[in-house]
Structure 1
Amino acid sequence: MSYNFEIVGITPILTFFNYQQEVEVSPKRSKTYLGSYQCTLDSFIESTNIIPKKPEWDWDEVIETMVNFWLKHEDIIRHWKLEFDRCEQNNLLVARVANLNCLRAELEQIFGN
């Protein structure tokens, strides 16, 4: 399988946790969102442990994808760190992890291919 990791934004803590409880209920979904109180690789890796209904993925490969992102995208990380440091305390930095094979299958089903 192949995975994608990217930082997508900042949201209030309550909004993020409500989203996780309401929307991320299927372990067969193509993506999941991670919330972190810090813009660090360690904090995002740690956040994988609290995903409700964790997808049935190769989580070692997911972590490897996250590490590779951190090594290759210093400018993006610096941008989000600055943005997050400017925010109120009751926010989380949000990242998305996608299973590219599942996402491709979902899109093919939507478009009938």
Structure 2
Amino acid sequence: MKYNFDIIGVTTVWDFFRHQQQVEQSPDRGCAYLGSYKCTLDGFIEATETIERRPDWDWDAVVAQMINFWMQDGDRVSRWQQELKNAEETSLIVGRIANFANLRNEFEQLLGES
């Protein structure tokens, strides 16, 4: 399976929690969202353990993709670290993990239902 990791924004804890309640219900979903108080690689790796309904993915491959992101996108990481630093005290940095196979299935189902 192929995965993608990206940092997608800064939000309040409440907004992140509400979003998680809506999208984290299906273990077969194409994406999982991670919230961390620290914009660090360790913070995001730790956040993978807090996913309530953790999909049956290759989590070693997910972590490898996160490491790859950190190594290749240092400028973006620095920008997000600054964004989090400037945000409200009750804010989180949010990352998204995409599982390409599951996303493809979701899109095919959507197109088939049209």
Same fold per TM (> 0.5)?
yes
Say yes or no: does 1:45 pair with 2:7.
no
Question: Post-superposition shift, 1:107?
Answer: 1.2
Say yes or no: does 1:89 pair with 2:89.
yes
What RMSD, in angstroms, separates the aligned Cα atoms of the two structures?
0.9
Count residues with an aligned counterpart: 112
Would you say the 8 A contact 1:41–1:70 is kept in 2? yes
Q: Deviations over 1:42-79 (max 9, x none)?
A: 00000000101101101111000000000000111011
Unpaired segments ≥5 residues, structure 1? none
Unpaired segments ≥5 residues, structure 2? none
TM-score, normalised relative to structure 1? 0.95
Q: Which residue number corresponds to residue 2 of structure 1?
A: 2
Distance 2:23 2:33 in 1: 10
Q: Identity, % of aligned pairs?
A: 49
Q: Deviations over 1:5-40 (max 9, x none)?
A: 000001100111122123211111110100010110
Question: Post-superposition shift, 1:105?
Answer: 1.6
Distance 1:23 1:99 in 2: 14
